[in-house]
């Protein structure tokens, strides 16, 4: 009998992962620090054209690129003369499961079926679970979604409960857990007991599925406007959205497209805290995931995450909860598009950043998500009130996550806040090096690629960390 204690299961995690993903991550390692990222990505040996064909066959992709003409007009009223870029949005809510996560799920489920697995398992708060459940139904696979749902009092966020409903509607079994380390433990135990495929968000299959999104938005923008986007803004959590989109953009054009990540500012709230779990109104797309996963990608549920956002990012900004809720209402009332708040994180950032750009420039907001029931912004605001959060109009910069949600009194107050990308890159280098004292030339080259910086930058960071290059 296998040891099913927490310590026993965790001791077997690498073996469980290898069997459930079919990738031997040790094959790509140079050292404790560095590995061959591109070779790992090639392990998912599907071309972009093959992925697009698979997605077309199973109801994913080719979503419309829509110009937000009324929001652009509003932005130009706020901006200085001659400023105010055209804003477009890639309407990923049109995928069968209602979000861009369908792209991540499509290739994973296709590959699981191809390898002969009977089912798939994923650990997620929801949108990805719904995507995996939807694609599993199309492929005739069993599906289990392990979901961190509620606090120790059994109270669940309405957004997460709605996502569970959608997963179950597609035929998935949903295992709901309270916040804490039991999520990963339960996930591993189920993988071992069922022998199902690990449809992780962080495998090469999941990231390659998003590459089609970056490719499509460039080609659609060229067809509609005669030029590629100047800026693409992605909502950022675990980094896969940024990574896949960037890789797709690079396959679509060799012209420079500035890539911006946007996260909801939840500074001060701990994502694994039972008491703080229900004091945040966003379960994804926030700094509680965006910062930790940017500074240490391999905290994911596979040994080496294929989501490496710092390899591609040009800027990283935050917006506040009140700004996102305000913009969600704006999208509905000005453009007739009712979409979920988490997907509108990047739209809130776009309204601010568009004012920096000229009128003939183009911003593409890279995705939307479906809304309804608990995912609707009114349901989330009502839940916040029930948890003692004060909701008011004013200046969103005065917002204190976990205590207040401040909706902008006027649209002029929607202002994305710049994060120090240099500081984030230095933190990433520190985390990747860990306790290793001596680094090789291969390690230095890997770190340069990992944070998209010159060798002098990396060497200076290593010197500050008292690391030696041999």
Q: Would you state the structure tokens that stand for residue 20, as one six-digit string?
A: 């459930």
So what's the pLDDT on residue 1? 78
444 pLDDT band (50/70/90 cuts)? Answer: very high
Alpha-carbon distance of 261 to 290, in angstroms, equals 9
Strand order through the sheet with 197-198: 173-178, 142-150, 119-123, 197-198
Average pLDDT score over residue span 288-304: 93
CB 368 within 8 Å of CB 344: yes
User: Which of 428, 448, 198 lies closest to 299 in space, CA to CA?
Assistant: 428
CB 133 within 8 Å of CB 167: yes
Instruction: Name beta bridge partners: 404.
Output: 390
In this predicted structure, the answer to whether residue 14 has a pLDDT above a threshold of 90 is: no
372 pLDDT band (50/70/90 cuts)? Answer: confident
Instruction: Name beta bridge partners: 262.
Output: 235, 317
24-50: pLDDT as tens digits? 999 999 999 999 999 999 988 899 999
User: Which of 376, 164, 377, 178 lies closest to 277 in space, CA to CA?
Assistant: 178
Average pLDDT score over residue span 438-462: 97
Alpha-carbon distance of 203 to 68, in angstroms, equals 34
Q: What mean pLDDT, rounded, does the chain reach?
A: 95
> Which H or E element spans position 406?
strand 404-408
> Which H or E element spans position 364?
strand 362-365
Alpha-carbon distance of 229 to 270, in angstroms, equals 36
User: Which of 240, 401, 409 lies closest to 309 in space, CA to CA?
Assistant: 240
So what's the pLDDT on residue 181? 78
Q: Would you state the structure tokens that stand for residue 297, as one six-digit string?
A: 């990608």
Q: Would you state the structure tokens that stand for residue 234, as one six-digit string?
A: 């992605």
Q: Does the predicted TM-score (pTM) go above 0.75?
A: yes
- Classify domain 58-97+205-418 at the CATH topology level: Rossmann fold (3.40.50)
Q: Which CATH architecture does the domain made up of 6-53+99-204 adopt?
A: 3-Layer(aba) Sandwich (3.40)
The CA–CA distances, whole Å, from 257 to 206, 217, 260, 264, 311 equal: 23, 12, 10, 23, 14
Alpha-carbon distance of 303 to 109, in angstroms, equals 20
275 pLDDT band (50/70/90 cuts)? Answer: confident
In this predicted structure, the answer to whether residue 263 has a pLDDT above a threshold of 90 is: yes
The distance in angstroms from the start CA to the end CA of the chain is 46
So what's the pLDDT on residue 271? 78
Q: DSSP secondary-structure letter at 258?
A: E
Alpha-carbon distance of 55 to 10, in angstroms, equals 35
150-198: pLDDT as tens digits? 888 889 889 999 999 999 999 999 999 988 778 889 999 999 999 999 9
Q: Would you state the structure tokens that stand for residue 440, as one six-digit string?
A: 């090789």
In this predicted structure, the answer to whether residue 126 has a pLDDT above a threshold of 80 is: no
Collect all residues with Cβ–Cβ distance below 8 Å to 93 and sequence separation of at least 6: 63, 99, 339, 340, 343, 368, 369, 370
CB 97 within 8 Å of CB 133: yes
Give 356: exposed, middle or buried? Use CB within 10 Å, 0-12, 13-18, 19+: middle
So what's the pLDDT on residue 152? 87
426-435: pLDDT as tens digits? 999 999 999 9
Alpha-carbon distance of 247 to 216, in angstroms, equals 12
**Length, in residues, of the chain:** 470
327-367: pLDDT as tens digits? 999 999 999 999 999 889 999 999 999 999 999 999 999 99
Residue with the two structure tokens 């029930």: 386
Instruction: Name beta bridge partners: 233.
Output: 260, 365
So what's the pLDDT on residue 468? 94
Percent of the chain's residues with pLDDT above 70: 100
Average pLDDT score over residue span 375-383: 93
48-94: pLDDT as tens digits? 999 999 999 999 999 999 999 999 999 999 999 999 999 999 999 99
Average pLDDT score over residue span 95-113: 96
Alpha-carbon distance of 245 to 231, in angstroms, equals 12
Alpha-carbon distance of 330 to 378, in angstroms, equals 13
In this predicted structure, the answer to whether residue 221 has a pLDDT above a threshold of 90 is: yes
User: Which of 117, 85, 125, 79 lies closest to 101 in space, CA to CA?
Assistant: 125
């Amino acid at each position: 009998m296998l040891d099913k204690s927490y310590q026993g299961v965790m001791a077997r995690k690498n073996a469980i992962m290898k069997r459930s993903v079919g990738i031997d991550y040790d094959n790509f390692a140079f050292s404790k620090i560095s590995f061959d990222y591109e070779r790992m990505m090639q392990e998912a040996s599907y071309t972009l054209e093959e992925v697009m064909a698979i997605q077309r066959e199973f109801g994913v992709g080719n979503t419309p690129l829509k110009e937000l003409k009324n929001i652009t007009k509003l932005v130009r009223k706020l901006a200085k003369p001659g400023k105010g870029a055209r804003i477009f949005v890639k309407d990923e809510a049109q995928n069968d499961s209602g979000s861009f996560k369908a792209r991540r799920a499509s290739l994973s489920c296709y590959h699981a079926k191809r390898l002969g697995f009977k089912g798939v398992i994923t650990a997620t708060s929801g949108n990805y679970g719904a995507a995996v459940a939807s694609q599993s139904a199309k492929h005739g696979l069993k599906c289990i979604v392990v979901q961190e749902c509620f606090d120790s009092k059994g109270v669940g966020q309405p957004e997460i409960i709605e996502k569970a409903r959608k997963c179950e509607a597609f035929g998935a079994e949903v295992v709901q857990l309270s916040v804490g380390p039991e999520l990963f433990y339960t996930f591993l135990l189920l993988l071992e007991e069922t022998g199902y495929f690990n449809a992780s968000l962080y495998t090469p299959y999941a990231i390659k599925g998003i590459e089609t999104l970056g490719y499509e938005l460039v080609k659609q923008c060229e067809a509609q406007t005669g030029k590629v986007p100047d800026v693409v803004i992605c909502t950022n959590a675990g980094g896969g959205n940024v990574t896949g989109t960037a890789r797709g953009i690079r396959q679509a054009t060799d012209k420079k497209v500035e890539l911006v990540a946007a996260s909801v500012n939840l500074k001060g709230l701990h994502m694994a805290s039972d008491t703080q779990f229900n004091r945040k109104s966003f379960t994804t797309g926030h700094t509680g995931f965006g910062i930790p996963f940017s500074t240490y990608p391999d905290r994911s549920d596979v040994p080496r995450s294929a989501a490496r956002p710092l390899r591609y990012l040009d800027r990283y900004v935050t917006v506040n909860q009140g700004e996102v809720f305000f913009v969600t209402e704006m999208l509905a009332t000005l453009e007739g598009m009712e979409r979920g708040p988490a997907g509108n994180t990047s739209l809130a950032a776009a309204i601010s950043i568009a004012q920096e750009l000229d009128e003939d420039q183009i911003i593409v907001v890279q995705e939307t998500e479906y809304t309804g029931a608990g995912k609707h912004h009114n349901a989330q605001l009502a839940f916040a009130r029930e948890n003692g959060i004060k909701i008011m109009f004013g200046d969103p910069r005065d917002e204190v996550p976990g205590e207040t949600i401040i909706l902008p009194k006027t649209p002029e107050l929607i202002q994305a806040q710049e994060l120090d990308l240099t500081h984030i890159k230095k933190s990433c280098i520190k985390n990747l090096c860990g306790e290793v004292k001596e680094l090789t030339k291969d390690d230095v080259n890997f770190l340069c690629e990992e944070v998209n910086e010159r060798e002098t930058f990396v060497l200076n960071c290593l010197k500050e960390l008292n690391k030696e290059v041999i």
